């Protein structure tokens, strides 16, 4: 029968597919309270590409991606209408064309989008129904509730991809911290017993589409695609 393919092995959850629990001890989010928050510490987290900041507001401690230009001891505001870098505001109180990050998908979820190093979105448009148009980094627009919160500015660490990984061990620990299998062998480069596309079987005239209810050993290639090939003009 051959050995289990990657999708089957990941489902089992062996040590090769387990992330380090110590890397995910910091949870990014916004507190419910509003007011002035102080930047206590700027540090690196293995599970995040961007540096994180530890902030304190009253007795509450929370973590957020660091914005470009932040310094230790700086004060930022949660709530209000002042559009300064590092402040956390509702989208309805942010002016158009402002750069934002760590945007909430739903009011109160703590921020789910735009959290990688060097990234930012742009507040694009206001609609009559109260929705706010956000221009994402890939230049497509999404509509969000005006009560969703976001942080003003651009996330720090924009030059991360400009530094090459000189040693394979660096890439190994980076992938290990994020529960990524590395190095990855291409499907056609494996043996025939290890993958349905192994030993060049994927290059033969055979459909690469898999049914949605197919077993794990067959869920490779295009999973229940709506269409394949070029669209006819």
CATH number at residue 103: 2.30.30.30
Cβ neighbors of 51 (< 8 A, separation 6 or more) are 42, 43, 44, 45, 65, 66, 117, 156, 157
Same domain, 148 and 190: no
Peptide bond into 183 cis (omega under 30): yes
Instruction: Please state the pTM of the whole predicted model.
Output: 0.74
Nearest to 218 by CA among 203, 201, 199, 196: 196
Q: Going by DSSP bridges, is the β-strand pair 149-152/88-90 parallel, antiparallel, or unpaired?
A: antiparallel
Q: Which two tokens stand for residue 65?
A: 């991606």
Domain range for 205: 6-16+179-223
Give residue-wise pLDDT tens across range 145-201. Answer: 999 999 999 999 988 888 888 999 988 888 887 777 788 888 788 887 777 778 876
Domain count, the chain: 2
Same domain, 27 and 105: yes
Same domain, 100 and 145: yes
CATH number (domain holding residue 191): 4.10.950.10
The C-alpha atoms of residue 52 and residue 65 are separated, in whole angstroms, by 4
Q: Which two tokens stand for residue 164?
A: 């090459």
Same domain, 156 and 194: no
Same domain, 42 and 98: yes
The C-alpha atoms of residue 38 and residue 44 are separated, in whole angstroms, by 18
Q: What is the pLDDT of residue 121?
A: 96
Same domain, 206 and 121: no
């Amino acid at each position: 029968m051959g050995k289990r393919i990657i999708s089957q092995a990941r489902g089992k959850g062996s040590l090769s597919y387990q992330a380090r629990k110590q890397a995910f001890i910091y949870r990014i989010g916004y507190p419910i309270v509003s007011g002035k928050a102080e930047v206590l510490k700027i540090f690196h987290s293995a599970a995040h590409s961007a540096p994180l900041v530890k902030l304190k507001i009253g007795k509450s401690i929370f973590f957020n991606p660091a914005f470009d230009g932040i310094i230790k001891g700086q004060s930022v505001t949660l709530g209000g209408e002042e559009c300064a870098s590092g402040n956390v505001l509702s989208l309805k109180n942010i002016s158009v064309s402002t750069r934002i990050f760590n945007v909430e998908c739903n009011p109160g979820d703590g921020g789910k989008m735009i959290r990688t190093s060097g990234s930012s979105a742009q507040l694009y448009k206001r609609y009559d129904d109260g929705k706010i148009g956000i221009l994402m980094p890939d230049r497509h627009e999404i509509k969000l509730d005006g009560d969703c919160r976001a942080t003003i500015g651009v996330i720090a660490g924009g030059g991360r991809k400009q530094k090459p990984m000189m040693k394979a061990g660096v890439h190994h620990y980076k992938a290990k911290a994020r529960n990524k299998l590395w190095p990855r062998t291409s499907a056609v480069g494996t043996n025939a017993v290890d993958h349905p596309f192994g030993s060049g079987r994927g290059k033969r005239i055979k459909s690469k589409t898999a049914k949605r209810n197919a077993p794990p050993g067959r869920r490779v290639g295009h999973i229940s695609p709506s269409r394949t090939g070029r669209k006819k003009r």
